[in-house]
């Protein structure tokens, strides 16, 4: 049957079963971010469109093809945020956070939007958690961010995670490297895919991580960023790798890792897993998190020059992986008792009794719209509660209630004032 309304393409509801995974991931991130004294920040879902065209870069796929924009009645162009770093930097500048003790550490978690072709693990509305550290240039901070992200995956019990790292230099050495790369790519442009042919002029670095076989062949012989870093960038990267070694983190240097946002300088990294494709033995690489250093972004967006580094993780992809690997979500407390009632007086008293159970933190279930006892006990059985409390007209008048053990059908009448304590004792056993 075709439904009259469905969720928009590439956007999905989060139902109870999935919520347990969201909660688990957010709790792990919150705990780890808390240990490192990160402060939580949430920015609006909508921002000025220009924040992203300036921050992420006009020639990136995100800005060129994937951004959702709208025009307000006042004629301003706003965009649904496609990522969290530019908005956080905007907030950092707007709230004068430069005056806070350095480094400023911020974490966030929420929905993001990219108009991509939906497929497994790729959505138009997706959730990310992210961690940003502003105000420190040292490569020890880059290593700290990688270490934190690694701990998050470790606490989520996600094994066999790969980390790829690279340095793409900065304004001191990247322009020269770009020239070299463009001249190499021009000499082979005829063999590049259509997409990459266009990128030679606009965004040559992105050609390095094109997944098309013919482009990969060309990029495998291309000049590499790390061979053309200036001495400062090389030193920064070398130290970063030494810190990672010290931390015994399982990383690989991938000279083709460039990332899809223009604000990166120096260090870039990605966390990924390799999983078997459905119904095939072929392996597919799933990027679970990515980030890097963005030393020029605060200045670019109107603030004082401030070095910074951060990472974001794709919550939806992590959930898909956790389900695939049968990892457990957060457990929700199940109802312990069912409150059944017969007649209006009993309904009124049940409403009051519910409040007593809430205060005692005993989760309960009731179906106040039903009048038949057998229908209510049937629901109680389906939910799987151990006890039902039956409030008949007689009991309501006598200020008592019946406790029914669902498994045995054994019933016992108790004073209404004592019932919460009685249930407490019984569920403790």
Would you tell me which residues interact with ligand HAM (CB under 6 A)? 83-85, 114, 116, 121-123, 126, 128, 130, 132, 260-261, 287-292, 294, 310-312, 314, 316-317
**Residue 404 beta carbon to ligand HAM: minimum distance, rounded to whole angstroms:** 48
Cβ distance to ligand HAM smaller for residue 104 or 289: 289
**Residue 15 beta carbon to ligand HAM: minimum distance, rounded to whole angstroms:** 18
Q: Exposure string (b/e) for 232-243, b if CB count within 10 Å is 16 or more?
A: ebbebbeebbeb
Cβ distance to ligand HAM smaller for residue 308 or 401: 308
Cβ distance to ligand HAM smaller for residue 52 or 243: 52
Q: Is residue 286 within 8 Å of residue 272, measured between CB atoms?
A: yes
For the range 112-118, what are the long-range contacts, defined as Cβ-Cβ under 8 Å and sequence gap of 24 or more?
A: 112/80, 112/81, 112/82, 112/83, 112/84, 113/45, 113/68, 113/80, 113/81, 113/82, 114/62, 114/66, 114/67, 114/82, 115/10, 115/65, 115/66, 115/67, 115/68, 116/10, 116/66, 118/9, 118/10
**Residue 337 beta carbon to ligand HAM: minimum distance, rounded to whole angstroms:** 40
**Residue 111 beta carbon to ligand HAM: minimum distance, rounded to whole angstroms:** 11
DSSP 274-296: EEEPTTSS-EEEEEEEEEEE-TT
**Residue 114 beta carbon to ligand HAM: minimum distance, rounded to whole angstroms:** 5
Cβ distance to ligand HAM smaller for residue 287 or 345: 287
Cβ distance to ligand HAM smaller for residue 119 or 231: 119
Strand partners, 40: 107
Tell me the residue nearest to ligand HAM as measured from the CB: 314
Cβ distance to ligand HAM smaller for residue 30 or 116: 116
Cβ distance to ligand HAM smaller for residue 111 or 335: 111
**Residue 315 beta carbon to ligand HAM: minimum distance, rounded to whole angstroms:** 8
**Residue 219 beta carbon to ligand HAM: minimum distance, rounded to whole angstroms:** 19
The DSSP letter of residue 60 is S
DSSP 173-234: THHHHHHHHHHHHHTTGGGS-HHHHHHHHH-GGGGGG---HHHHHHHHTS--GGGG--HHHH
């Amino acid at each position: 049957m075709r439904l009259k309304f469905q969720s928009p393409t590439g956007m999905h509801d989060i139902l109870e079963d999935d919520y347990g995974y969201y909660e688990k991931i957010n709790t792990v991130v919150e705990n780890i971010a808390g240990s490192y004294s990160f402060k939580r920040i949430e920015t609006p879902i909508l921002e000025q469109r220009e924040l992203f065209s300036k921050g992420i870069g006009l020639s990136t796929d995100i800005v060129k093809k994937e951004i959702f924009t709208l025009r307000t009645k006042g004629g301003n162009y706003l965009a649904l945020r496609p990522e969290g770093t530019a908005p956080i930097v905007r907030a950092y500048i707007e709230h004068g956070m430069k005056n806070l003790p350095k480094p400023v550490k911020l974490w966030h978690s929420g929905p993001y939007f990219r108009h991509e072709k939906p497929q497994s693990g790729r959505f138009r509305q997706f959730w990310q958690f992210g961690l940003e550290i502003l105000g420190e240039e040292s490569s020890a901070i880059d290593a700290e961010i990688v270490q934190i992200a690694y701990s998050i995956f470790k606490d989520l019990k996600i094994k066999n995670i790969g980390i790829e790292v690279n340095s793409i230099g900065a304004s001191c050495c990247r322009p020269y490297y770009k020239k070299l790369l463009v001249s190499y790519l021009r000499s082979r442009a005829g063999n590049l895919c259509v997409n990459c042919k266009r990128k030679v002029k606009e965004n040559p670095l992105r050609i390095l991580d094109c997944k098309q076989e013919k482009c990969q062949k060309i990029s495998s012989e291309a000049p590499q960023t790390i061979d053309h870093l200036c001495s400062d960038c090389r030193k920064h990267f070398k130290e970063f790798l030494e810190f990672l070694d010290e931390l015994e983190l399982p990383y690989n240097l991938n000279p083709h890792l460039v990332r899809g946002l223009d604000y990166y300088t120096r260090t870039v990294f990605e966390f990924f897993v390799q999983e078997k494709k459905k119904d095939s033995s072929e392996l597919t690489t799933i990027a679970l998190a990515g980030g890097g250093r963005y030393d020029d972004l605060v200045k670019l967006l109107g603030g004082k020059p401030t070095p910074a580094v951060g990472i974001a993780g794709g919550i939806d992809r992590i959930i898909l992986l956790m389900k695939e690997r049968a990892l457990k979500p957060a457990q929700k407390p199940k109802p312990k008792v069912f409150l059944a009632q017969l007649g209006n007086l009993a309904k009124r008293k049940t409403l009051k009794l519910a409040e007593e159970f809430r205060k005692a933190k005993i989760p309960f279930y009731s179906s106040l719209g039903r009048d038949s006892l057998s229908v209510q006990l049937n629901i109680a059985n389906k939910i799987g509660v151990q006890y039902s409390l039956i409030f008949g007209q007689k009991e309501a008048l006598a200020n008592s209630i019946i406790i029914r053990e669902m498994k045995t059908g054994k019933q016992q009448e108790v004073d209404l004032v004592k019932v919460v304590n009685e249930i407490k004792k019984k569920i403790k056993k």
